[in-house]
Amino acid sequence: MADGTTPMVALTPQGFVPRLRGRLALTFMAITVAACLVAAALLISHAADERHAIEHRAQEAAKALSFGFDQEVAAVNYLLKGLSKSPALLSGDIKAFYDQLRATPVPEGSWLVLNDLERQVANTLRPFGSPLPRHVDFPNYQEQLDRIRDRRWSVSGRMLAPLKGRIVVALSLRLDGPDRRMSGHLSIALAEARLGTILDDQAVPVAWVKGLYDRKFQPIVADRDGHKGSDLPVPAALASRLADAGPDNTVTGTVEATDDRGVPVLVAFRRSGATNWTTIVSVPQADLNAPITAALWRMAGPAALLLLAGGIAAWFTARQVEQPLRTLSDQVSGAKRQVNELSGQLLALQEDERQRIARELHDSTAQHLVAANLGLAGLEGVVSQIPAARKALAEVENLQSEALRELRVFTYLLHPPNLAKDGLQATLRDFAEGFAGRTGLVARIRIPEEVDETPADLQRAILRVVQEALTNVHRHAGASRVSVDARIRSGRLVIRIRDNGHGMAGPDRPTGPIRLGVGIAGMRARLEQFGGDLRIRSGYSGTSVVAVVPITVAGRALSQARRMLDPWLPSATRLDGEAPS
């Protein structure tokens, strides 16, 4: 310029904005591509983990089924051993032994058979003295007889019971004469329906197949899409895999195969060395690969849309600042929903596990104790002339009876009452009264009808809190009386369980702070899901457990719940330690 100054080029807003938007578009698209790559890697990794989890679930289901059948066989074996010591059998009084067999509790649909080396001698399906089949009427009878002679007990393959007309398996125990040579065998026939019940204990998705096969891979019972039968063949690849396995070896694993419908499947299996039975859980490959397929589809569409939206979004960056925040809020809400759903699933799994354990204790362990009692009964005549032995036998019988009583108490505590059918008031009352009847405690129950109007999930949580509290009273308190009171006040449900036991700081507890067990932690966690709280007071006159849950506005301040509890709680200093569980 004429004045000697250097000219400067002014960058107008009209020129700056397009450049800024272009750079923003390129930056946003670069970030989008990087995010897509990271998301793809995470999705594929997560999908691979889900696929592995499905495979692991199938393996665990096959193992659980195998263990269930092994336990059934073991329980029946103990029963047969107890019966083999019967004085009636040892003295040759077959009619008396037949009457004992008829009076013996056996699994549903099962029956007992006494055999000599030629034929059936007594069968609880028929009156004593009725014509019974000979062993030659059964195929492969000589192989089965030799197996019993060599192993002293045996589990048969699938066979058709002539007197029943159904597919069964027989568990047999060798019987010896005075010369210690085999004189016959005692058998129990397990029907397909009983084995199907064990199969039902292990829940799997609808499209999966679960089954039980004998040592020759003949189907004993299988379940596909809820339909049970004994005509579902074992996949050929599995039979080839186990062809060289030793008869007494336990083998687990998976094998890829094609089922009888031509569908590619992954077969998880366990071959038991105790029974030579093989349990399988078959998963369609489509289900197994579904997580990866879904991940690929989830990546393809969103990635294309994100790349297209990257250029457009830069033009509206200034106006859309709130959009990422809204998206983040939605993601947080979705995560919270997922956490709540997962918590519900975990509690449902716990409910199923309690029921399964209760059934196993009742169907398996209780049978063991009954069989043991039968065995002890067989010893009475032997030790009747020996005072010391007779006294020891009486003590063992008393211990057995006490163990059976304790087992029945805990199976009752584990098994949930029918809450959905009867409502919370009737369920709590029936459970507390049943608990008192089984434990010998004097119980007082006061439950208002209004509790049945609370949400179903809350009712289930309250029921579990009461069950856990009563379990602790039975296990730890040493009480003679217990009370269960409920009331609804100021929009809150309050449940109090109080006993007259020795308290948590009893003379048998070592000095030091009381430590928290998992039971009370679980009670507190259940209540916190509904914005509730758990408080405990304990002294030498007993323990009081109080649960309070808001039933109108979820998540009310915990201090309000505590203020409501004050009229109920004793004036003693609050116990900051923890209770046993």
456 and 443, same domain (yes or no)? yes
558 and 429, same domain (yes or no)? yes
309 lies in some domain: no
485 lies in some domain: yes
276 lies in some domain: yes
244 and 132, same domain (yes or no)? yes
Around Cβ 553, how many Cβ atoms within 10 Å? 9
Give the burial string for 319-334 (b: 16+ CB within 10 Å, else e). eeeeeeeeeeeeeeee
pLDDT recorded at residue 82: 92
pLDDT recorded at residue 270: 93
Alpha-carbon distance of 522 to 519, in angstroms, equals 5
pLDDT recorded at residue 60: 93
515 and 446, same domain (yes or no)? yes
pLDDT recorded at residue 314: 57
Choose among 455, 485, 490, 463: nearest CA to 561: 490
517 lies in some domain: yes
Domain carrying residue 118: 58-288
This prediction's pTM: 0.47
405 and 433, same domain (yes or no)? no
210 and 147, same domain (yes or no)? yes
Choose among 581, 533, 518, 528: nearest CA to 350: 518
pLDDT recorded at residue 537: 87
515 and 461, same domain (yes or no)? yes
pLDDT recorded at residue 417: 58
pLDDT recorded at residue 421: 76
390 and 443, same domain (yes or no)? no
Alpha-carbon distance of 89 to 75, in angstroms, equals 21
32 lies in some domain: no
Rounded to a whole number of angstroms, the CA Rg of the chain reads 34
437 and 544, same domain (yes or no)? yes
Choose among 470, 464, 463: nearest CA to 428: 463
Q: Which CATH number fits the domain that encloses residue 563?
A: 3.30.565.10
pLDDT recorded at residue 316: 63
Q: Which CATH number fits the domain that encloses residue 178?
A: 3.30.450.20
Alpha-carbon distance of 240 to 257, in angstroms, equals 11
52 lies in some domain: no
Of 415, 436, 459, the domain-final residue: 415
Length of the chain as a residue count: 581
252 and 146, same domain (yes or no)? yes
Total of domains in the chain: 3
547 lies in some domain: yes
Alpha-carbon distance of 124 to 112, in angstroms, equals 6
398 and 457, same domain (yes or no)? no
pLDDT recorded at residue 408: 66
426 and 561, same domain (yes or no)? yes
Of 226, 258, 288, the domain-final residue: 288
152 lies in some domain: yes
Give the residues of the chain that fall short of pLDDT 70: 1-25, 28, 163, 307, 309-330, 332-333, 336-337, 339-348, 350-351, 354-355, 358-359, 361-364, 366, 377, 381, 384, 405, 408-418, 420, 505-518, 552-581
Of 415, 438, 465, the domain-final residue: 415
